Structure 1
Amino acid sequence: MTTQLNEFDAKAAESGNAATERFRESGKTEALSVPKERVSLLANEVLGAVYETVRKHKVSYDEFNALKSWLIRVGEDGEWPLFLDVWVEHVIEEVSTEDREGNKGTIEGPYYVPGSPQFESPATLPMRDDEGGTPLLFQGQVRGVDGRPLPGAHVEIWHADDNGFYSQFAPGLPEWNLRGTVVADAQGNFALNTVQPAPYQIPTDGACGKLIGAAGWHAWRPAHLHLKVSAPGCQLLTAQLYFEGDQHLSDDIASAVKPELVLAPTARAASPGVEVTYDFVLDAVRP
């Protein structure tokens, strides 16, 4: 008899390897032309920081071998995307977007999948008939820093379900569950119906979880919506939007929360659930 798996059967190694494969398919692994001098500078400074840590804290051979074993496990579990996205990406994002005048963004994370189904606004994200969670109407306008509306802007959204799992990274979920791209109208306005996601722990049964346990950290991320907002002639905005009152806004394991990204939904007057309006302001592509 074949056992039907569901999202609660998700394993760190399986979701980690899926994230690794998605990264390989993304085109981001293409060769980058970087001057040897910069490679040398960055490599030497990173290694220098490691040497300083070893000397300062008198790292032993046993600790060194434990580190080697753990690094091997990270690769075996396919968790390098998770490790880098959780503990490093927020600084890369901060540096890369520091000159923007429009909306603040934040990290992409390891669970992005391109090519989601496209819908005209107003839209409803693909979801199961019995999808759990509070119904959420998310709406707003996309415009440029000069204030002009951006007709036909794309608002790409994906998020975890009410149990904290992402489609395509946990078994038993429909392929595009809670994933979609909404096309704004002629005034740059968009509206989409979904459900409010739940806070969740990053996988704890793999290598990253071993680090979290050994360090005595928690593994929680506050509930959030992932978004990529784009329009011709504008810089792509990648963001996560959080929810007021979440207990992990101040101690997100991924350090990705910014005050500008916190939503305050209100009860809907004529329908069950909540609604929130949030506008996106996109920077122009620099010449």
Structure 2
Amino acid sequence: MTQETEATAAASGTRATERFREHKQAAAGTSPERVSRLASRVINAINDTVLEEKVTYDEYNAFKAWLIKVGEDGEWPLFLDVWVEHSVEQVANEHRHGTKGTIEGPYYVPNAPELASPATLPMRPDEPGTPLLFQGRVTNVDGEPLAGAHVEIWHADHLGFYSQYAPGLPEWNLRGTVIADADGYYQINTIQPAPYQIPTDGACGQLIAAAGWHAWRPAHLHLKVSAPGYEQLTSQLYFQGDAHLSDDIASAVKPELILDPTPRADGAGKEVTYNFALDPAE
């Protein structure tokens, strides 16, 4: 049987590209003036770099070959989500007064199974890792509970792999949409995910190696929290003490998003409480 550790950058990149095409739409109605302004700024920035850094033809051709490889490996979603999305997210959410957001990343899958709280995420019978009880409450910014709010959660396993992006994992492993109770409370039983390196056997890994960077993301939970009449929140929550909180390759960590789990009284792993406050929809 194929194992998750046999995942390749090309396979996961292709899957991420397919998901993007299935579920993301290009912005409709963008004016020619706006397209011209944005495209001109990006092109001018590249040309300014060439002139200021005295880029050679060898370097230019290496760059061209690398761009071609990014496409061949299907890694544009990974490249953009790791190195660009954090700035887009900052612009998109700068108006919020409630809980902080951060990037979605390339491994989201919609329509995860719905589970009533208290819930246990789908997982293998012998799922490795430290059990984690993740719980809290969903309210609006005034502290009023949002009954039936949806807490959609997905995360990597103890080896840093995501279901549907690595072979050998059940389809919905460690993915679910948990429905909060009448008072906005949710409880989710899962396992604490591991830090992981983004795929390094493809074009993005080639860039990382050439630049002498590291490829690590701190361990994190992905979340989308929603309720009728309120803006959906997309965020990630990290874990105190992780070695890469200060140098996340995706630049997505914020102090407000760091968890500090404590041992459960019954000795069955750890637990942590985190509350979400949603902004009203405009």
TM band (smaller chain): over 0.9
**Which of 266, 275, 279 is matched with 1:279 structurally?**
275
**Which of 155, 170, 173 is matched with 1:174 structurally?**
170
1:129-208 alignment runs, 5 A limit: 129-208=125-204
TM-score by length of 2: 0.99
Q: What secondary structure sits across from 2:112 in the alignment?
A: coil
**Which of 18, 37, 41 is matched with 1:45 structurally?**
41
Q: Give 5+ residue unaligned stretches, structure 2.
A: none
Question: How far off its partner does 1:31 sit?
Answer: 5.3
Cα-to-partner distance string for 1:205-226 (whole Å, 9 max, x where unaligned): 0000000000000000000000
Question: How far apart are the structure 2 equivalents of 1:31 and 1:165?
Answer: 31
Amino acid at match of 1:205: D
Q: What secondary structure sits across from 2:102 in the alignment?
A: coil
Q: What secondary structure sits across from 1:72 in the alignment?
A: helix
Question: How far off its partner does 1:271 sit?
Answer: 3.8
Amino acid at match of 1:182: V
Question: How far off its partner does 1:33 sit?
Answer: 1.0
Match of 1:229 in 2: 225
Question: How far apart are the structure 2 equivalents of 1:233 and 1:38?
Answer: 30
Question: How far apart are the structure 2 equivalents of 1:108 and 1:145?
Answer: 22
Q: What secondary structure sits across from 1:47 in the alignment?
A: helix
Shift of the 31–107 alpha-carbon distance from structure 1 to 2, 3 Å rule, reads: closer
Question: How far apart are the structure 1 equivalents of 2:120 and 2:131?
Answer: 11
Question: How far off its partner does 1:130 sit?
Answer: 1.0
**Which of 54, 69, 92 is matched with 1:96 structurally?**
92
Match of 1:65 in 2: 61
Match of 1:113 in 2: 109
Cα-to-partner distance string for 1:175-221 (whole Å, 9 max, x where unaligned): 00000000000000000100000000000000000000000000000
Q: What secondary structure sits across from 1:252 in the alignment?
A: coil
Question: How far off its partner does 1:29 sit?
Answer: 2.7
Cα-to-partner distance string for 1:62-82 (whole Å, 9 max, x where unaligned): 111111100010000000000
**Which of 47, 50, 57 is matched with 1:54 structurally?**
50
Q: What secondary structure sits across from 2:67 in the alignment?
A: helix
1:74 is the counterpart of 2:70: yes
Q: What secondary structure sits across from 2:177 in the alignment?
A: strand
Q: What secondary structure sits across from 1:70 in the alignment?
A: helix
Q: What secondary structure sits across from 1:95 in the alignment?
A: helix
- The CA RMSD over aligned residues, in Å, is 0.7
**Which of 230, 234, 238 is matched with 1:238 structurally?**
234
Shift of the 51–281 alpha-carbon distance from structure 1 to 2, 3 Å rule, reads: same
Misfit runs of 4+, over 6 Å: none
Q: Give 5+ residue unaligned stretches, structure 1.
A: none
Question: How far off its partner does 1:270 sit?
Answer: 1.4
Amino acid at match of 2:17: T
Identity, % of aligned positions: 71
Match of 1:252 in 2: 248
Q: What secondary structure sits across from 1:194 in the alignment?
A: strand
Amino acid at match of 1:117: P
**Which of 10, 13, 16 is matched with 1:19 structurally?**
16
Cα-to-partner distance string for 1:50-109 (whole Å, 9 max, x where unaligned): 111000000011111111100010000000000000000000000110010000010000
Match of 1:84 in 2: 80
Question: How far apart are the structure 2 equivalents of 1:39 and 1:122?
Answer: 47
Amino acid at match of 1:265: P
TM-score by length of 1: 0.97
